[in-house]
Amino acid sequence: MTQQITVIRGDGIGPEIMDATLRMLDTIGAGLEYDFQLAGLAAQEETGELLPQATLESIENNRVALKAPLTTPVGGGFKSLNVALRKHFDLYANVRPAVSFKGSASRYQDIDLITVRENTEGAYLAEGAYTAPDDSRAESKMVVTRKGCERVVRFAFDLARRAGRKKVTIVHKANILKDVTGMFLRVAHEVAEDYADIESNDLIVDNACMQLVMRPEQFDVIVTTNLFGDIISDLCAGLVGGLGLAPGANIGEQAAMFEAVHGSAPDIAGKGIANPCALMLGAAQLLEHLDDHDRARRVRSAIAEVIESGDRTTPDLGGDGTTEGFTDAICERLG
């Protein structure tokens, strides 16, 4: 049976990198059917709504979505459309791999790590957010739950086991934020006891950042709370050559959404020079989620080959190619 997925072409460079990614998926014969839906500015222009009901229903039915970056306009009723989608579908695990590509302008060549970030609680879902009318004071309450901590840590250990990873590092700030991240650390150690085959350790977030820059090879899988995960995964993207190569999966019990970590890059939108790799690598995560490991592996190695050869790569990777030419180079290796 053909698998139908929801496809959101997004804003800014979104349509350019989505077209490239769908062309790549068709070239490898992924056998996916696309249910195109709107969200973000494109949706607002066409339907008057930023997140139309039809889009939510499509994701609910298909349970798998490929999403290009969205622009969240100020004053549109949403702090962030991405956060709203994650919350709506309870996509609690944000999985962000960072892998070195030979030939990319990165400081390190042998990084292969995955950050698992809690996606539905903590600082980004703060309760009672308030700024005094005279701008003299602002406040918000951070909440984490035992259930929220436990399920994301379990997810990280299960992922480590499935992917043949050796170690999970729990990142926290329990020495200062004793309650909120203290609970995360406590629960994480409890969960770790169920996974005797996987080594685990914990690091305070500031030390983790320093260690990532000094000795990134000591990391395998990192699991952490929402805010720290956001920062650490971008740091890891920087270690391997930038946002143009950083994909992300948002996974819950009822649905999963795959994307590029970067935003809609309005500064280069419409110029035809956006790097499509982050979304293509997000599509590889999607294929893996659908148990199509062979095609996922082929996509990753085609991208790696093209980057290493420098064949038609885009300016962010030091080349002078276009999105279309770069996609041709990848598809030629897959066809």
Which residues form the catalytic set?
Answer: 124, 173, 206, 230, 234
Distance CA 221, CA 156 (A): 7
- 98: helix, coil or strand? strand
Q: Considering the complex, what minimum distance in angstroms separates the CB of residue 323 from ligand ATP?
A: 8
Site size with ligand ATP, rule: CB under 6 A: 16
Which segment (24-32, 94-102, 248-256, 266-274) binds ligand ATP by CB under 6 A?
266-274
Residue position matching structure tokens 């956060």: 83
- 88: helix, coil or strand? helix
Which residue's Cβ has the minimum distance to ligand ATP?
A: 263
160 versus 268: smaller Cβ distance to ligand ATP: 268
117 versus 154: smaller Cβ distance to ligand ATP: 117
12 versus 148: smaller Cβ distance to ligand ATP: 12
Distance CA 218, CA 197 (A): 18
268 binds ligand ATP (CB under 6 A): yes
**Residue among 39, 123, 113, 85 at smallest CA distance from 250:** 85
**Residue among 75, 86, 67, 53 at smallest CA distance from 11:** 67
69 binds ligand ATP (CB under 6 A): yes
Contact flags string 295-324 toward ligand ATP, x per CB under 6 A? ---------------------x--------
CB within 8 Å of 137: residues ≥ 6 apart: 131
75 binds ligand ATP (CB under 6 A): no
Q: Considering the complex, what minimum distance in angstroms separates the CB of residue 1 from ligand ATP?
A: 33
263 binds ligand ATP (CB under 6 A): yes
Exposure b/e, 52-65, CB count within 10 A at least 16 = b: beebbebbeebbbb
What would the DSSP string read from start to end of 180-212?
HHHHHHHHHHHHHTT-TTSEEEEEEHHHHHHHH
- 260: helix, coil or strand? strand
55 versus 275: smaller Cβ distance to ligand ATP: 275
Contact 203, 211 (CB under 8 A): yes
Q: Considering the complex, what minimum distance in angstroms separates the CB of residue 276 from ligand ATP?
A: 7
Distance CA 250, CA 258 (A): 6
264 binds ligand ATP (CB under 6 A): yes
Q: Considering the complex, what minimum distance in angstroms separates the CB of residue 191 from ligand ATP?
A: 33
List 110, 127, 193, 267, residue binding ligand ATP (CB under 6 A): 267
> Can you give the binding site for ligand ATP, defined by CB under 6 A?
13, 69, 71, 243-244, 262-268, 274-275, 278, 316
